[in-house]
Chain A
Amino acid sequence: MPLIRQIRSLWKLSQAGQIARRYFVTNGFDGALTMLGILLGFYTGGEVPLVVAISACLGAAVALGISGFTSALLSETEERKKELKELEESLVAPLEGSDYGKASQITPWVIAAINGLSPFLISLFIIAPLWLEEAGMGLPLPLGPLETGIAFSFLAILFLGIFLGRISGTFWLWSGLRAVLIGLVTAGIIFLIGGNT
């Protein structure tokens, strides 16, 4: 069997594509909203040293990444084991050396990597303006680094919404704006809480 077809077959067998897409959006959204929440918290809280904001955001990004990776790895491994066992019972034969056996071992790692990297990379993208400012390479924008970071959060949320619209076959702009609306509601709640403390 040609190698490409084998890889494609394993990918198809494991149905990893659709699961990975779902996890990418779900956990990516987690990352974007968490960063939005932290940045808005700092923004409403008043003057905060940039290095503190970067450390807090980076800490949350790492935690989200590790949480995403480990939770997906544990749950997917168990889920795949269960599926493989059920299939083995139906076939009345072991599937250890088969493509199914291989797919059930590899897939949890691939999905875990996507689940972990998605919020981590999106968080890094969002805190990039803060980093650049701290490194003396601030973006030539009429906004401060915190405001730019908040704008980047909405950009990431819009991108995830559009991506979701593309895979679900709905109008991409509507899907993107709906995601932004969720971000705006979140921001409103944070402002409400932040303004009262």
Chain B
Amino acid sequence: MAIVKRILLDVLKPHQPGALEFSQTLADLDPGYRVNLRVEEVDENTESVIVVIEGEDIRFEEIGQAIKKMGGTIHSVDEVEAEGSPPASSE
């Protein structure tokens, strides 16, 4: 199965946890994850953020659960970069 190397998510989240803690929590999911977060819009109770996660093998389910646990919701997956895994050796 193809390996996901990069995803760009549009997320709606409460003000707390803040951008720093939110990114750290996602980055902590895997030692190889690199997280980039940009706040797009701030409302009274919520903020829209664009989260870019890069890694060797991104596990989307786990990321979705972590975001949900922090009170966020994924609006859309706007970009995905996937790489085909090499075929298993017959030897």
| Chain A residues in the interface with B (C-beta under 8 A) | 1-2, 5, 9, 12-13, 86-87, 90-93, 95, 97-100
Known: A98-B68, A99-B70. 14 other contacts (CB 8 A): A1-B25, A9-B17, A12-B16, A12-B17, A86-B45, A87-B14, A91-B12, A91-B13, A91-B45, A91-B46, A91-B71, A91-B73, A98-B69, A100-B14
Judge whether A90 and B69 touch: CB under 8 Å. Answer: no
Q: Name the residue of chain B whose CB is nearest to the CB of A89.
A: B45
Known: A97-B68, A99-B71. A90 touches B17 (CB 8 A): no
Q: Name the residue of chain A whose CB is nearest to the CB of B12.
A: A91
Instruction: Decide if B81 is an interface residue (CB 8 Å cutoff).
Output: no
Instruction: Decide if B28 is an interface residue (CB 8 Å cutoff).
Output: yes
Instruction: Decide if B61 is an interface residue (CB 8 Å cutoff).
Output: no
Judge whether B70 and A98 touch: CB under 8 Å. Answer: yes
Judge whether B45 and A90 touch: CB under 8 Å. Answer: yes
Q: Hey, which chain B residues are within 8 Å of A12, CB to CB?
A: 16-17
A12–B71 Cα gap in the complex (Å)?
14
Judge whether A87 and B17 touch: CB under 8 Å. Answer: no
Can you list 14 residue pairs at the A/B interface with Cβ under 8 Å? A1-B25, A1-B28, A2-B28, A5-B25, A13-B16, A87-B46, A90-B14, A91-B12, A91-B13, A91-B45, A91-B71, A91-B72, A98-B69, A99-B71
Q: Which of B45, B66, B73 contacts A93 (CB 8 A)?
A: B73
A63–B62 Cα gap in the complex (Å)?
49
**What number of A-B contacts does a CB cutoff of 8 Å give?**
45
Q: Return B9 CB to nearest CB of chain A, in Å.
A: 15
Instruction: Decide if B41 is an interface residue (CB 8 Å cutoff).
Output: no
Q: Hey, which chain A residues are within 8 Å of B14, CB to CB?
A: 87, 90-91, 100
A100–B15 Cα gap in the complex (Å)?
11
Q: Hey, which chain B residues are within 8 Å of A91, CB to CB?
A: 12-14, 45-46, 71-73
Instruction: Decide if B91 is an interface residue (CB 8 Å cutoff).
Output: no
Judge whether B45 and A97 touch: CB under 8 Å. Answer: no
Q: Name the residue of chain A whose CB is nearest to the CB of B68.
A: A98
What 0/1 pattern do residues 15 to 36 of B give for CB contact below 8 A with A? 0110001001100100000000
Chain B 63-78 interface residues, beta-carbon cutoff 8 Å to A: 66, 68-73
A1–B17 Cα gap in the complex (Å)?
13
